[in-house]
Amino acid sequence: MNTSRRKFIKNSLKATVITTISAPGISKAAAILTSSSNPVVIHTEIQKAAAINFSQIALPYSYNALEPVIDTMTMDIHYNKHHTAYIKNVNDAIIAEKIDFASEKDFFANCSKLSPKARNNGGGAWNHNFFWQVMTPTQGGAPTGKVIEAINGTFGSFEKFKELFTQAAMTRFGSGWAWLVLDSGKLKIGSTPNQDNPLMDVGDLRGTPLLGLDVWEHAYYLKYQNKRNEYVANWWNVVNWNEVAKRMI
């Protein structure tokens, strides 16, 4: 292949990269484009760069912002140790197992085909990003607007909804999550084991997560010890209903 044609293909690939690769992959793709002049190598490596890579969101508030519901030390350890480990481990699994799904949606839609490491850590990475966002130091209490209308229409009252959600959190044996999901326009409450979530093609609870509560012991044990009921009861004081409303599409 002559030099001018090789240059043309490389420039064409560069334009494609800019329009099709998400922000985290652009720097990788740029490095690939500058490191090789072989179009076949470039195309192969760019495909790899476009594969999913989980990232940890910045905590939306300070470590002590949810006091006294969630103590500072728990938040620090939960975010910087547990969540960070899930991010690292799932990305390691993606590389080692050559997982090439391009989005989180596709990753979870094919979870039944993944290794336990990829599934568990992918769930842990996504679930915690979600969890931080559905909490806030400035809200809590009862929702308003379309959220309370949907809750009342499905469960009869906010108090009944809280009762059912709390039951899901309290009856999840061992480690897991309690969820409020939207499935085919209907609200549902349920729970998942370990780091599973309702986006996965496994389990009985499926749908778009609107609200989630981490009931792993590491989420509450430093403050509440074995009193999961107190943790769940207090958690309602930091629920971010505005975030729930954003997800009701």
If you write DSSP's letter for every residue of 137-190 in order, what string do you get?
TT--S---HHHHHHHHHHHSSHHHHHHHHHHHHHHS-SSEEEEEEEETTEEEEE
Round to whole Å and give the CA distance between 232 and 124: 20
Higher pLDDT, 27 or 54: 54
pLDDT computed for residue 28 by the predictor: 47
Higher pLDDT, 224 or 36: 224
Q: Which fold has domain 145-247?
A: minor pseudopilin epsh fold (3.55.40)
55-76 burial, b if ≥16 CB within 10 A, otherwise e? ebeebeeebebbeebbbbebbe
- Rounded to the nearest 10 degrees, the angle between the axes of helix 158-171 and helix 228-235 is 150
CATH 1.10.287.990 occupies which residues in the chain? 72-133
pLDDT at 126 over 90: yes
pLDDT computed for residue 203 by the predictor: 86
pLDDT at 63 over 50: yes
pLDDT at 61 over 70: yes
Task: Let me know if domain 72-133 sits in CATH 1.10.287.990.
Answer: yes
Q: Give tens-digit pLDDT for 131-174.
A: 999 999 998 889 999 999 999 999 999 999 999 999 999 999 99
Tokens, residue 74? 């728990």
Taking only Cα atoms into account, the Rg of the chain, rounded to an integer number of angstroms, comes to: 21
Q: Give tens-digit pLDDT for 207-233.
A: 999 999 999 999 999 999 999 999 999
Q: Give tens-digit pLDDT for 166-201.
A: 999 999 999 999 999 999 999 999 999 999 999 999
Q: Are 118 and 84 in contact (CB under 8 A)?
A: no
- The DSSP bridge pattern shows strands 186-193 and 208-214 to be unpaired
Write phi, then psi, for 212 (nearest 5 degrees). Answer: -140, 145
pLDDT at 118 over 70: yes
Q: How sure is the predictor about 38, in pLDDT bands with cuts at 50, 70 and 90?
A: low
What residues have CB less than 8 Å from 146, skipping those under 6 apart? 245, 248
Q: How sure is the predictor about 4, in pLDDT bands with cuts at 50, 70 and 90?
A: low
Per-residue pLDDT, averaged over 109-126, amounts to 97
Question: Whole-model pTM above 0.85?
Answer: no
pLDDT computed for residue 249 by the predictor: 74
Percent of the chain with pLDDT over 70: 80
Q: Tokens 């496994």 appear where?
A: 202
Percent of the chain with pLDDT over 90: 77
pLDDT computed for residue 140 by the predictor: 85
CATH 3.55.40.20 occupies which residues in the chain? 145-247
Q: How sure is the predictor about 25, in pLDDT bands with cuts at 50, 70 and 90?
A: very low
